[in-house]
Amino acid sequence: MSDLPLTFPHILLDNARKFPPTKAAIREKDYGIWQSYSWQDYLAQVKDFALGLASLGFKKDNKMAIIGDNRPQLYWGLASCQCLGGVPVPLYQDAIHEELHYIVSHSECRFALAEDQEQTDKLMHLKDEVPELEYIIYDDPRGLTNYKHDWLLAFTDVQEMGRKFGKEHPDYFMNAVDRVQPDDMSIIAYTSGTTGNPKGVMLTHRKIAMCARGFSQWDNLDETENVMAYLPMAWVGDHVFSYSDSLCSGFAVNCPESTETVVNDQREIGPTYIFAPPRIWENILTQIMIKMEDSAWIKRKAFDFLMKVAGRVEKKRIANEGVPFKDKFLYQLGRLLIYAPLLDNLGMSNLKVAYTAGEAIGPEIFEFYRSLGVNLKQLYGMTESCAYVSMQKDGEIDSDSVGPPAPGVEIKISEDGEVLYKSPGNFLGYYKDPEATAGTLEDGWLHSGDAGYMTEQGHLKIIDRAKDVSRLNDGTLFSPKFIENKLKFSPFIKEAVAHGMNREYVAVFIDFDYGAVANWAERRHIAFTTFGDLAQKPQVYDLIHDAICKVNKSLAKDEKLKNSQIKRFLNLTKELNPDDGEITRTRKVRRRLIAEKYKDLIDALYTAGKESVALKIKATYEDGRIAEVKMNLKIRDAQTY
């Protein structure tokens, strides 16, 4: 590994030299047709755009914001920025004005690259507010024909400027690439900001490249792999597993036509590995369950029976125990009738390995996919470590742990139970925030903020965020995320917020999955008008109560957790929304904000005899409108065991 290039511009040049022109580097589906680009095409596109940026005055260490869905042009723009010694700053494509303003201003971006008219409009609104922002470049010209500004340019026009600049300065590109050093900043990846403004994590070329190669070596991933790129480019997971890993290993990245067509496009490509956060796996499971509800009675019964068989078999495999002959036979029958057709329908037939990370995944959800035959593994990492801390090994899978330390990583547990680690991917620090850096990185040890412990097998087990783990008044351990993940195994529950710190018992807010519950209600001829109306239907409360009872039965079997069963709950009348600040763009609950915003609801859950509570809050709709929501929410007791 020591002889391999350690900057992404040099890695790109190396790929263009060693791979044949027939080898795909990146594909994009547009108008129903897959367009394929070789590594030579990739380099040519990057070179032209980089030289175009140079002709506009882009200098080493300049920052460029990038926003939009996964598109080759956005990845090329990212690489072009790095080839000039610049620093890309990816943004979440669904971020609202205030969030974009903070990051673009804080990072001092001179340039911005947008996918289409929607994202261009967002950036144009920032132009007068952020004086550092000089140029906005767009990829898709549809809807932008009448936008006339000297500082607004098309991606292809910048490339044309680059070709002209290259003829006048033939050595400029290679000289710029050669000035980029392994320990130069490669990207600023902003955190999701669960407790305040997001922080800019500074990562170097060397650190990201070493971690990307570490991931590939762990599971023998090479240039023959295919991966779908559909996660936000602003998330470190996409940057490491789609962009960096592809460059370091040479495999092909595939950009779907849209976020709505991912599964169909995935079925056509047949990726060999997938990386997705738990919310994606939860969403897929919900869709499976909805379709099964709509299927014939005999099919539902066969599915339920054979999935129980698969669950038993997978538990035996995880424990490295022998599988009885009867279950072996039934499992093979299930593979023929259920598991293989389902995986084929999901575009997962060719999977070598699948990863989940970003936050804890519920053990039931994890075991569901494993039992289908998906080699799903858990990773543990943070933006501050290039996502590289621990990962599960083949043959040593445990649904409750995140595996042993990755090669080159040291892990220790502090006296108060916090996970600390030293990783080859540890960040340089937070951009323009030395105080926060000093509080996170101490003597080379990174404070994760997560509570956990090492198992007897040497695997890391994460309990929850350290600040969220507490106890009920009777001393019972209370981990809200643990309970929430169990609830989200139900296809009808999209999100949940558990309460219980310094309380007598656990109570929860339920944010149900509108699509799944609406489908369920329509089949039963239950009339409803709005999300809020549906949420308060007695039948929906019964439906959610059944899901809670399953969780309570599971908790009752654990001597340490049986007193943390859910005793009361209510259904929220609106979805938890990142635009309202209730969850982050990566769908992590902002507990402090929810505790303040919904204080009256929480108090009502802990008021004896209280059967309803009035709600009056402001909600943001998809079109940006803000309206006041007034409703009376029912409170329901849950059965405990």
Residue closest to 271 by CA, chosen among 379, 349, 378, 340: 349
Domain residue limits at 96: 8-271
Kindly state whether residues 512 and 460 are assigned to the same domain.
no
Kindly state whether residues 21 and 117 are assigned to the same domain.
yes
The pLDDT value given to residue 182: 97
Residue 32, sorted as left (phi over 0), alpha (psi -120 to 50) or beta, turns out to be left
Averaged pLDDT for residues 460-487: 89
Of the three residues 465, 484, 515, the one that is the final residue of a domain is 465
Beta-strand ranges (E) seen in 395-443 are 410-413, 418-422, 429-430, 441-442
Residue 296 lies in a domain: yes
Q: Is the pLDDT of residue 628 over 80?
A: no
291: confidence class by pLDDT, cuts 50, 70, 90: confident
Please indicate, yes or no, whether the overall pTM of this predicted structure exceeds 0.85. Answer: yes
Kindly state whether residues 487 and 448 are assigned to the same domain.
no
The pLDDT value given to residue 318: 85
Q: Considering its fold, how many domains does the chain have in total?
A: 3
Better pLDDT: 610 or 52:
52
* 3-state secondary structure at position 420: strand
Averaged pLDDT for residues 334-348: 93
Domain of 21, CATH number, reads 3.40.50.12780
Q: Which two tokens stand for residue 387?
A: 């996502």
Burial of 301 (0-12, 13-18, 19+ CB in 10 A): exposed
The pLDDT value given to residue 194: 64
Residue 206 lies in a domain: yes
pLDDT-above-90 percentage for the chain: 73
Q: Determine the Cα–Cα distance for residues 458 and 421; give it in Å rounded to an integer.
A: 14
Q: Which two tokens stand for residue 134?
A: 């000089």
Q: Determine the Cα–Cα distance for residues 186 and 200; give it in Å rounded to an integer.
A: 12
509: confidence class by pLDDT, cuts 50, 70, 90: very high
Residue 327, sorted as left (phi over 0), alpha (psi -120 to 50) or beta, turns out to be alpha
Digit-coded pLDDT (tens) for 390-430: 999 998 888 888 999 999 999 999 988 899 999 999 999 99
Q: Is the pLDDT of residue 2 over 80?
A: no
Q: Is the pLDDT of residue 252 over 90?
A: yes
Q: Is the pLDDT of residue 186 over 80?
A: yes
432 neighbors 106 (Cβ within 8 angstroms) = yes
Q: Which two tokens stand for residue 569?
A: 């709950």
Beta bridge partners of 618: 628
Residue 396 lies in a domain: yes
Residue 449 lies in a domain: yes
Q: Is the pLDDT of residue 192 over 90?
A: no
Averaged pLDDT for residues 276-305: 89
Q: Determine the Cα–Cα distance for residues 598 and 13; give it in Å rounded to an integer.
A: 54
- 117-121, 205-209, 273-277, 506-510: range with lowest mean pLDDT: 273-277
The pLDDT value given to residue 195: 63
* 3-state secondary structure at position 614: strand
The pLDDT value given to residue 497: 95
CB count in 10 Å sphere of residue 299: 14
Kindly state whether residues 492 and 536 are assigned to the same domain.
yes
Q: How close are the terminal C-alpha atoms of the chain, in Å? A: 56
The pLDDT value given to residue 63: 98
- 160-174, 304-318, 585-599, 624-638: range with lowest mean pLDDT: 624-638
Q: Is the pLDDT of residue 59 over 80?
A: yes
Kindly state whether residues 267 and 293 are assigned to the same domain.
no
Beta bridge partners of 346: none
Kindly state whether residues 461 and 505 are assigned to the same domain.
no
- 309-313, 350-354, 361-365, 478-482: range with lowest mean pLDDT: 361-365
Residue 2 lies in a domain: no
Torsion of CA 61, 67, 68, 71, to 10 degrees: 0
Kindly state whether residues 474 and 617 are assigned to the same domain.
yes
Residue 1 lies in a domain: no
Q: Determine the Cα–Cα distance for residues 458 and 403; give it in Å rounded to an integer.
A: 8
Averaged pLDDT for residues 296-314: 92
Of the three residues 218, 236, 271, the one that is the final residue of a domain is 271
The pLDDT value given to residue 589: 86
- 170-179, 236-245, 590-599, 618-627: range with lowest mean pLDDT: 618-627
Q: Determine the Cα–Cα distance for residues 591 and 411; give it in Å rounded to an integer.
A: 27
Q: Is the pLDDT of residue 18 over 60?
A: yes
82 neighbors 115 (Cβ within 8 angstroms) = no
Kindly state whether residues 417 and 326 are assigned to the same domain.
yes
Domain of 527, CATH number, reads 3.30.300.30
317: confidence class by pLDDT, cuts 50, 70, 90: confident
Kindly state whether residues 515 and 445 are assigned to the same domain.
no
265 neighbors 227 (Cβ within 8 angstroms) = no
CB count in 10 Å sphere of residue 470: 15
Beta-strand ranges (E) seen in 146-243 are 152-154, 185-190, 200-204, 226-228
Averaged pLDDT for residues 291-298: 86
155 neighbors 138 (Cβ within 8 angstroms) = yes
235 phi, psi to nearest 5 deg: -85, 135
Averaged pLDDT for residues 45-61: 97
Averaged pLDDT for residues 221-239: 94
423 neighbors 406 (Cβ within 8 angstroms) = yes
Cα 156 to the center of its chain, rounded Å: 31
3: confidence class by pLDDT, cuts 50, 70, 90: confident
Q: Determine the Cα–Cα distance for residues 547 and 562; give it in Å rounded to an integer.
A: 17
486 phi, psi to nearest 5 deg: -65, -40
Q: Determine the Cα–Cα distance for residues 6 and 208; give it in Å rounded to an integer.
A: 9
Residue closest to 580 by CA, chosen among 99, 259, 129, 67: 99
Digit-coded pLDDT (tens) for 563-613: 999 999 999 988 888 888 888 887 788 898 899 999 999 999 999 889 998
78 neighbors 156 (Cβ within 8 angstroms) = no
503 neighbors 568 (Cβ within 8 angstroms) = no
Kindly state whether residues 627 and 480 are assigned to the same domain.
yes
Average pLDDT, the chain: 92
Q: Determine the Cα–Cα distance for residues 352 and 272; give it in Å rounded to an integer.
A: 5
Burial of 1 (0-12, 13-18, 19+ CB in 10 A): exposed
Residue 345 lies in a domain: yes
Kindly state whether residues 179 and 228 are assigned to the same domain.
yes
277 neighbors 586 (Cβ within 8 angstroms) = yes
Residue 145 lies in a domain: yes
The pLDDT value given to residue 623: 57
- DSSP secondary structure of 40-64: HHHHHHHHHHHHHHHHTT--TT-EE
622: confidence class by pLDDT, cuts 50, 70, 90: low
Q: Which long-range contacts (CB under 8 A, 24 or more apart) does 326-333 make?
A: 330/306, 333/306
- 157-161, 164-168, 343-347: range with lowest mean pLDDT: 343-347
Q: Is the pLDDT of residue 319 over 60?
A: yes
Q: Is the pLDDT of residue 626 over 80?
A: no
Give, for 16, the enclosing helix (H) or strand (E).
helix 8-18
Report which listed range, 151-160, 348-357, 604-613, is most confident: 151-160
Of the three residues 271, 287, 319, the one that is the final residue of a domain is 271
Kindly state whether residues 581 and 515 are assigned to the same domain.
yes
